[in-house]
């Protein structure tokens, strides 16, 4: 376990106030663990001396383990360095990669839970956008229920998860990463509203470029005649063979145009609401309470920065604002994804055609079921993401 050995050698001596001028300085190290530490950790520790080993020690205080034994000076003083278990972190590039993986899993998990929960509303929205359904909402629900049964409302949900899980993973991770970099570059204690909107827009663009092909395949499958093409692999093969690889990026321009402001509005609104609460008297009391609880066994829900209910509420408001602001772009993008090569139109021509056929309201076709879907989806998505970051101990 080289990372641990380097940590002992390079970091531990610098954190102990040894007298630098003492030539008799001796530093001897060892790892002593209490009974709550898993056997897998003990067995994974490598030592340079075959005679040495990791020895368990029953700690006097629970939730702590003793890290290292050191001796220094001519007085032969001996001491222990005690470290809280929840503060122990691996060091080096491997730890950074593991933290990134956990960060991505938090976003992916949020997408899986939220999309499965709101899949019926997503299905209704696509019926209006993709199939041009004209009947009212309750009649459409009755039609799907009688013709396809209950499972018809979750049609395409697996493909939707395959699309949204990586999208949300990249989106959340990119926003946090861009936000940290902008904060570091500005040197401020807190990100400004402009930086929040900029990081959100950049995160939306990044996730769209990486994940658009899966969205195109899903739209193709749900379009009229899509059932005959088969599953995901078959649709992918069909599109590449008949229309070329870049057909998977149909609607990229309107997607980027919509996702940049959508990401900016979503993350910007959420962080503005969160910042306003944390700077309020109630928010300051909550921050003070959370600082007092550090190091204690606290429920993950209680560790949410603004609390469970506000996390859900702020996520829903942010999602609704983002959806309402950019919905026409999504309608145009879906129409572009359904076009075949022979009759392909550009984004502007497609927008004009939609307006000519159905007027301005056609650009907002399916907005009501979309908002009904976005409100719980955004709320659950942000809640699960924040919760999983705590559970997975994402730094």
Residue 155 belongs to a domain with what CATH number? 1.50.40.10
Q: Reading across the β-sheet that carries 77-84, which strands appear in turn?
A: 55-56, 31-33, 64-72, 77-84
348-350-356 Cα angle (round to 5): 105
Q: What is the pLDDT of residue 125?
A: 73
Same domain, 29 and 158: no
Residue 116: Cβ within 10 Å count: 14
Same domain, 42 and 141: no
Same domain, 156 and 244: yes
Same domain, 162 and 244: yes
Of 87, 122, 142, the last residue of a domain is 87
Which residues contact residue 188 at a Cβ distance below 8 angstroms, ignoring those fewer than 6 apart? none
Same domain, 59 and 123: no
Q: What is the pLDDT of residue 139?
A: 82
Same domain, 266 and 345: yes
Same domain, 55 and 198: no
What span, in angstroms and rounded, lies between the C-alpha atoms of 366 and 361?
10
The residue count for the chain: 395
What string of pLDDT tens digits covers the 395 residues of the chain?
443 433 444 444 444 444 454 444 444 444 444 445 555 554 554 444 444 443 333 333 333 343 443 333 333 444 443 333 444 444 455 677 888 899 999 999 999 999 888 888 778 777 776 666 667 778 888 888 888 888 878 887 887 788 789 999 999 999 999 999 999 998 888 889 999 999 999 999 999 998 888 888 877 777 777 667 777 788 888 888 888 888 888 878 878 887 888 899 999 999 999 999 999 999 999 888 888 877 777 788 888 889 999 999 999 999 999 988 888 887 887 777 777 666 777 777 888 888 888 888 888 887 887 788 789 989 999 999 999 999 888 87
Of 87, 109, 138, the last residue of a domain is 87
**Contact (CB, 8 A) for 32 and 69:** yes
Q: What is the pLDDT of residue 341?
A: 65
The two structure tokens encoding residue 93: 């590039």
How many separate domains does the chain show?
A: 2
Same domain, 23 and 114: no
Q: What is the pLDDT of residue 149?
A: 83
Same domain, 122 and 32: no
Q: Looking up tokens 């999309």, which residue turns up?
A: 115
Q: What is the pLDDT of residue 342?
A: 63
Of 87, 116, 142, the last residue of a domain is 87
Report how far apart the first and last C-alpha atoms of the chain are (Å, whole number).
21
Q: What is the pLDDT of residue 257?
A: 81
Same domain, 257 and 299: yes
Q: What is the pLDDT of residue 324?
A: 86
Q: What is the pLDDT of residue 51?
A: 41
Same domain, 135 and 284: yes
Same domain, 284 and 315: yes
- Show the domain range for 62: 2-87
Q: What is the pLDDT of residue 38?
A: 54
């Amino acid at each position: 376990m080289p990372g641990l050995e380097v940590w002992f050698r390079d970091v531990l001596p610098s954190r102990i106030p040894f007298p630098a001028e003492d030539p008799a300085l001796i530093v001897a190290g060892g790892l002593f663990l209490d009974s709550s530490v898993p056997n897998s950790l003990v067995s994974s520790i490598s030592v340079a001396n075959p005679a040495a080993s990791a020895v368990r020690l029953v700690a006097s205080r629970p939730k702590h383990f003793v890290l290292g034994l050191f001796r220094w000076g001519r007085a032969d003083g001996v001491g222990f360095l005690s470290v809280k278990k929840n503060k122990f972190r691996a060091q080096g590039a491997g730890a950074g990669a593991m933290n990134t993986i956990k960060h991505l899993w938090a976003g992916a998990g949020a997408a899986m839970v939220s999309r499965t929960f709101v899949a019926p509303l997503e299905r209704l929205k696509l019926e209006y956008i993709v199939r041009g359904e004209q009947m009212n909402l309750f009649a459409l629900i009755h039609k799907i229920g009688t013709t396809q049964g209950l499972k018809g409302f979750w049609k395409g949900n697996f493909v939707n998860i395959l699309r949204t899980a990586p999208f949300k993973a990249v989106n959340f991770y990119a926003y946090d990463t861009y936000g940290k970099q902008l904060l570091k570059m500005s040197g401020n204690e807190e990100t400004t509203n402009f930086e929040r909107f900029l990081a959100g827009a950049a995160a939306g663009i990044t996730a769209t470029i990486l994940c658009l092909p899966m969205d195109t395949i899903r739209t193709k499958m749900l379009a009229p005649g899509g059932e005959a093409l088969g599953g995901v692999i078959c649709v992918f093969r069909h599109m590449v063979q008949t229309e070329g690889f870049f057909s998977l990026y149909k609607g990229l321009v309107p997607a980027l145009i919509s996702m940049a402001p959508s990401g900016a509005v979503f993350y910007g609104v959420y962080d503005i609401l969160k910042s306003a609460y944390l700077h309020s008297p109630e928010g300051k009391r909550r921050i003070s309470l959370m600082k007092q609880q550090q190091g204690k066994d606290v429920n993950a829900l209680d560790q949410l920065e603004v609390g469970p209910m506000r996390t859900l509420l702020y996520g829903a408001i942010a999602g609704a604002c983002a959806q309402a602001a950019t919905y026409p772009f999504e309608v145009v993008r879906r129409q572009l994804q359904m076009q075949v090569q022979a009759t392909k139109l550009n984004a502007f021509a497609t927008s004009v055609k939609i307006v000519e056929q159905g007027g301005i309201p056609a650009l907002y076709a399916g907005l009501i079921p979309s908002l009904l879907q976005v409100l719980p989806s955004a709320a659950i998505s942000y809640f699960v993401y924040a919760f999983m970051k705590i559970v997975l101990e994402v730094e």
